[in-house]
A and B are shown apart, each in its own frame.
Chain A
Amino acid sequence: MNLSRRQFLKLTTSGIGATSLGALGFAPDRVLADVRNFKLASTTQTRNTCPYCSVGCGILMYGLGDRSKNARLRLVHIEGDPDHPVNRGTLCPKGASLLDFVNSPHRLKFPEYRAPGSSEWQRVTWEWALDRIARLMKDDRDKNFIAKNAAGVPVNRWTSVGMLAASASSNESGYLTHKVFRAMGMTALDNQARV
């Protein structure tokens, strides 16, 4: 028997207690999570994992906004996911204060540029920044790409531009990053696993 949260709530309010359901052998999904749901009844719940350490604690994020087109989702609360087999609802001081990371005054909001010799940032558009980076990269690759080594063996490597990839970003981002930059022949590609 697979019960959604709503079904479970209906069942329990219609008189069958959670314990007697358990005794009947029904193990509803997310029992513990549902109890917490009352105080956050008007919010949207989203499952996520803590991005800090490699324990990978499960978290529940509560946001204002109902995912309709013009409502901007904004988080108001984050707590441990009680169903998660490792953290079982707990979070450490880092995970428990995740909302302060999301809402940090030091979040970057716009592309910025610092010109040679300058001591300040200037706000730029994505278009401008990406066009210029693409140009700088292509020009450098065209100029410094090593097609063959001294012995005439094809080696197709680009060693003069490098990259460090993010090991707190997703697998999908890591995979795409690897695919794109390796295809350019980049050799100096590492991530935090190296340090």
Chain B
Amino acid sequence: MTNHWADIKNANVIIVMGGNPAEAHPCGFKWVTEAKAHNKARLIVVDPRFTRTAAVADQFVQIRPGTDIAFLGGVMNYLLSNDAIQHDYVKAYTNASFIVRADFTFDDGLFSGYDEAGRKYDKASWTYELGPDGFAKVDPTLQDPRCVYQLLKKHYSRYTPEMVSSITGAKQEEFLQVCKTIASTAPADRTMTSLYALGWTQHSVGSQNIRSMAMIQLLLGNMGMAGGGVNALRGHSNIQGLTDLGVLSDLLPGYLTIPKETDKDLDAYLAPRTLKPLRPGQMSYWQNYPKFFVSLQKAWWGEAATKENQFAYEYLPKLDKLYDLLAVFDLMHQGKVNGYICQGFNPLASAPNKAKVIDGLSKLKFLVVIDPLVTETSTFWRNAGEFNPVEPSKIETEVFRLPSTCFAEEDGSLTNSSRWLQWHFKGAEPPGEAKTDLEIVGELFGRIRRLYAKEGGTFPDPIVKLTWPYAIASAPSAEEVAREYNGWALADLPDPKDKTKILVKRGDQLTTFGQLTDDGSTAAGCWIYTGSYTDKNNMARRETADPSGLGLAPAWAWAWPLNRRVLYNAASCDPTGKPWDPRRTLVKWNGEKWVGADVPDFKVDQPPESGMAPFIMNPEGVGRLFGADKMAEGPFPEHYEPFESPLARNPMHEKPVASTNPAARIYAEDKAALGTAEHFPYAATTYRLTEHFHFWTKHARIPAVLQPEQFVEIGEALAKEKGIRDGERIKVRSNRGEIVAKAVVTKRIRPLTVAGKTVHTVGIPIHWGFEGLTKPGYLANTLTPFVGDANVQTPEFKAFLVNVEKLGVA
């Protein structure tokens, strides 16, 4: 989240799209109720299903799965053509005035630079005109036809209410009513907050769904404001933490990136990442990239990372291509992966196309599963009848299953979606011989390291020289590891203002990432977490006080970065440093420095008149309405159909290649496994229930009793058409597989008229499998397509095609 859970209470309008917090995040949703009860907030829900969030909404609009960008593009068109934007904010804090290069074009669904064979763009033209001073050219009057504001207006003028209605299936009047409510937050003293979750990410255009809302929030001046922001509700309890720590195939901790093989040495790696300001006087905080990176290398390789050896740059792997989950399961399917470790992760249930995943796992030499519970992945070789029809004797994979502790049996921190790192304490002994993940990783690493020390082997250096400053080598403690990602001084650090003084003594914990250096005198394993564990464990703080009344709870736990509760909060002030809305004062300029209830997201002694803008991470200093070269499929979000669409072509484009996301990767076999509307006429989406958490709570008795049996949700109209009665068993097929489940016939899903055609939507909850205390069921990913978002490869679980067949009463 840019903001945080309790901040929702400050909003005037709450839009929930791509999420269902009343059911999936119930205790966070109370802040929506709070906003409605005490702030007269209006709640808008736009979703393919009438969810329980929708049930308490002031307005609900049903749309076809996978058409969010069409809807949001229409909202932008409305805001721009009705001049319902916050002008001063847009001028000062966005790139609306920036001049875009003359050769940047958009034509029939494709931006300039498309390479159809490679399914990717040459993004050279997706940038600003630079002046002779090297800075981007701007037109503060916003009149230049090549300025972002004018290009934006032109791009979204195509998203007329007629077009929105035709693509999404929403009625024009409903859509316009939503636009009006959203537009009501353009004044400086009104805000809208946006809440989304996997209903936006699990699409081939997932990242652009989110960007569309970020653009709307910039146009309305809602970024950085209390009660504003773009708020990812997220999924697992520590999904935020694992993302922050960069445990992803292309990341390093703190949103640093893994080198590519074209980054031949440290300088070549750092240069394109050390972003210089694109406008005069801007902070461009990524200028400090080398400090974050060198401190990470020092944390990992200590004295073996020296200036002479480029701080052990060689020790890191260099990427030739992406190794994301989809790519890896495809490699597994090709027999190119030998071993796989699943730590608290059940990919057989959560990766798309179960048949392909089974095939991949069966080709492994060994699989290691570390989990507190039985998972389907660990028993993928077990014949569970119709639910897992495999032949164990034909599966040659060696499988190890290692019991790990659960939350109650260990110490540590989890980062919630508010970016709060909250420490928890062990309160029970683990069952049997279960060990903590720290111990399992520690023990395994110790063994591998000893083998390398004894036998030698391929490139042992990064393994044998890895820092291991833990009192018990086989079982690092949570505190020791937390101190390491926070970081410490490796030498006395002088005060930059007075070099005769020592700011941090050698060996002391750092208190801010401002203290990090690129000369090897600091170590910090995750720079954005610096400050979490100083001379004390700030993550364990429990002060409930909220002096501002804005719900910040500034001394409860610790929020990254630097305990800041609202990101971009300097944008909550006008260009003179005065809050846009005094009732929402997070920070302000007091004439000498930035002060306030929140930690200012700005250089603390930088006067606002200096012209430094509040989006300090961007080289432009401002928020991006034009995304430049940051996204795979274009600087402006564009509506592309899901890879499986009930429409034969995208109503917005003639070119077939621009029907679906032209920059999304799809492997030939998976393309061949896509179904067409002719055979699979119904739009489908997966979803979660409030009683279950993924494939996990089916092992806990009460949730298993509450939702004991697999079902599929269909609307009354479709049920009638097919002669299906409520509670009857039905077969749901996609081009990749089929499942059998009880039909739950509801009023919650209506048929929509899309491009002149009637489209039914089928809802598929995901929680059952062939392990658990519930009745056995089919893994829902038996149905889902193996294609992902063009930027981050998140699978398209929220829009695909199925057919539904009547089976007869069970």
List A contacts of B338 (CB < 8 A): 140, 144, 160-161
A120-153: contact bitstring with B at CB < 8 Å (1 yes, 0 no)? Answer: 0100001001111111111011111101010001
CA A130 to CA B433, docked complex, whole Å? 14
List A contacts of B771 (CB < 8 A): 106
Give the tally of cross-chain contacts (CB within 8 A): 488
Partner among B320, B325, B414, B703 whose Cβ is within 8 Å of the Cβ of A49:
B414
Are B235 and A53 within 8 A (Cβ)? yes
Are A147 and B459 within 8 A (Cβ)? yes
B342 smallest CB distance to A (angstroms): 5
Q: Does A34 contact B (CB under 8 A)?
A: no
List A contacts of B264 (CB < 8 A): 153
Are A27 and B545 within 8 A (Cβ)? yes
CA A168 to CA B399, docked complex, whole Å? 22
| Residue of chain B at shortest CB distance from A56 | B416
A179-190: contact bitstring with B at CB < 8 Å (1 yes, 0 no)? Answer: 110111111111
Are A195 and B325 within 8 A (Cβ)? yes
Partner among A51, A160, A185 whose Cβ is within 8 Å of the Cβ of B337:
A160
Give the contacts of B315-352 with A (CB-CB under 8 A): 315-320, 323-325, 327-328, 331, 336-345, 347, 350-351
B525 smallest CB distance to A (angstroms): 6
B212 smallest CB distance to A (angstroms): 21
Are B400 and A156 within 8 A (Cβ)? no
A53-91: contact bitstring with B at CB < 8 Å (1 yes, 0 no)? Answer: 111111001010000000011110010100111111011
CA A74 to CA B426, docked complex, whole Å? 11
Q: Given A156-B317, A174-B245, decide whether A140 and B339 contact each other with a Cβ distance below 8 A.
A: yes
User: Of B57-65, B89-97, B401-409, B629-637, which binds chain A?
Assistant: B401-409
Are B437 and A97 within 8 A (Cβ)? no
Are A191 and B392 within 8 A (Cβ)? no
Q: Given A46-B425, A86-B418, A93-B690, decide whether A55 and B247 contact each other with a Cβ distance below 8 A.
A: no
List B contacts of A108 (CB < 8 A): 371-374, 401-404, 432, 434
Partner among B245, B320, B429 whose Cβ is within 8 Å of the Cβ of A74:
B429
Are A191 and B248 within 8 A (Cβ)? yes
B227 smallest CB distance to A (angstroms): 16
Are A195 and B546 within 8 A (Cβ)? no
User: Of A3-11, A12-20, A110-118, which binds chain B?
Assistant: A110-118
Partner among B258, B323, B433, B455 whose Cβ is within 8 Å of the Cβ of A126:
B433
Q: On chain A, which size bracket covers the interface?
A: 35 or more
Q: Does A36 contact B (CB under 8 A)?
A: no
CA A157 to CA B549, docked complex, whole Å? 51
Q: Given A54-B234, A63-B428, A160-B338, decide whether A173 and B417 contact each other with a Cβ distance below 8 A.
A: no
List B contacts of A94 (CB < 8 A): 690-693, 697, 703
List B contacts of A183 (CB < 8 A): 300, 315, 462-463, 466
Partner among A90, A126, A195 whose Cβ is within 8 Å of the Cβ of B27:
A90
Q: Does B436 contact A (CB under 8 A)?
A: yes
Q: Which of B241, B253, B320, B482 has the most CB of A within 10 A?
A: B241
Q: Does A26 contact B (CB under 8 A)?
A: no
Q: Given A48-B408, A107-B373, A107-B434, decide whether A178 and B323 contact each other with a Cβ distance below 8 A.
A: no
B329 smallest CB distance to A (angstroms): 9
B472 smallest CB distance to A (angstroms): 13
CA A101 to CA B392, docked complex, whole Å? 29
Q: Does B568 contact A (CB under 8 A)?
A: no
A150-174: contact bitstring with B at CB < 8 Å (1 yes, 0 no)? Answer: 0001111111111111111111111
Q: Does B249 contact A (CB under 8 A)?
A: yes
Partner among A55, A158, A191 whose Cβ is within 8 Å of the Cβ of B5:
A55
Q: Does B447 contact A (CB under 8 A)?
A: yes
| Residue of chain B at shortest CB distance from A90 | B27
List B contacts of A101 (CB < 8 A): 373, 406, 696-697, 699-700
Are B414 and A170 within 8 A (Cβ)? yes
List A contacts of B805 (CB < 8 A): none
Q: Does B185 contact A (CB under 8 A)?
A: no
Q: Does B457 contact A (CB under 8 A)?
A: yes
CA A173 to CA B244, docked complex, whole Å? 13
B221-253: contact bitstring with A at CB < 8 Å (1 yes, 0 no)? Answer: 000000000000111111111111111110011
Q: Does A21 contact B (CB under 8 A)?
A: no
B474 smallest CB distance to A (angstroms): 10
Q: Does B420 contact A (CB under 8 A)?
A: yes
User: Of B78-86, B510-518, B790-798, which binds chain A?
Assistant: B790-798
Q: Does B605 contact A (CB under 8 A)?
A: no
Q: Does A194 contact B (CB under 8 A)?
A: yes
Are A116 and B398 within 8 A (Cβ)? yes
Are A190 and B366 within 8 A (Cβ)? no
| Residue of chain A at shortest CB distance from B464 | A183
Q: Which of B246, B407, B425, B701 has the most CB of A within 10 A?
A: B407
Q: Given A46-B427, A189-B247, decide whether A171 and B27 contact each other with a Cβ distance below 8 A.
A: no
B205 smallest CB distance to A (angstroms): 16
Are B542 and A191 within 8 A (Cβ)? no
List B contacts of A109 (CB < 8 A): 403, 431-434
Are B699 and A106 within 8 A (Cβ)? yes
Are A193 and B239 within 8 A (Cβ)? yes
Q: Does B382 contact A (CB under 8 A)?
A: yes
Q: Does B489 contact A (CB under 8 A)?
A: no
CA A52 to CA B688, docked complex, whole Å? 13
List A contacts of B325 (CB < 8 A): 164, 190, 194-195
| Residue of chain A at shortest CB distance from B300 | A179
Are A170 and B403 within 8 A (Cβ)? no
Are B239 and A171 within 8 A (Cβ)? no
List B contacts of A185 (CB < 8 A): 317, 459, 462
Give the contacts of B498-540 with A (CB-CB under 8 A): 525-526, 529
CA A70 to CA B481, docked complex, whole Å? 28
Q: Does B442 contact A (CB under 8 A)?
A: yes
Partner among A51, A116, A188 whose Cβ is within 8 Å of the Cβ of B237:
A51
A184 smallest CB distance to B (angstroms): 6
Partner among A55, A74, A129 whose Cβ is within 8 Å of the Cβ of B428:
A74
List A contacts of B258 (CB < 8 A): 187
Partner among A54, A137, A184 whose Cβ is within 8 Å of the Cβ of B416:
A54
List B contacts of A184 (CB < 8 A): 448, 462-463
CA A169 to CA B458, docked complex, whole Å? 31
CA A175 to CA B331, docked complex, whole Å? 26
CA A96 to CA B246, docked complex, whole Å? 31
Q: Does B485 contact A (CB under 8 A)?
A: yes
Q: Does A25 contact B (CB under 8 A)?
A: no
Partner among B233, B331, B370, B700 whose Cβ is within 8 Å of the Cβ of A54:
B233
Are A132 and B236 within 8 A (Cβ)? no
CA A138 to CA B450, docked complex, whole Å? 11
CA A121 to CA B6, docked complex, whole Å? 47
CA A129 to CA B618, docked complex, whole Å? 48
A16 smallest CB distance to B (angstroms): 21
Are A55 and B28 within 8 A (Cβ)? yes
List A contacts of B598 (CB < 8 A): none
List 9 extra interface pairs beyond A126-B443, A188-B331, CB under 8 A.
Answer: A108-B403, A114-B401, A149-B318, A159-B337, A167-B243, A170-B414, A176-B438, A194-B324, A195-B350
Q: 18 A-B pairs, CB-CB below 8 angstroms?
A: A46-B408, A47-B424, A54-B240, A56-B415, A61-B427, A86-B6, A93-B690, A105-B773, A108-B374, A112-B400, A133-B366, A157-B320, A166-B343, A171-B245, A171-B485, A189-B247, A191-B243, A193-B243
- Leading 7 A-B pairs by shortest Cβ distance: A166-B344, A109-B432, A56-B416, A170-B412, A46-B427, A108-B403, A92-B26
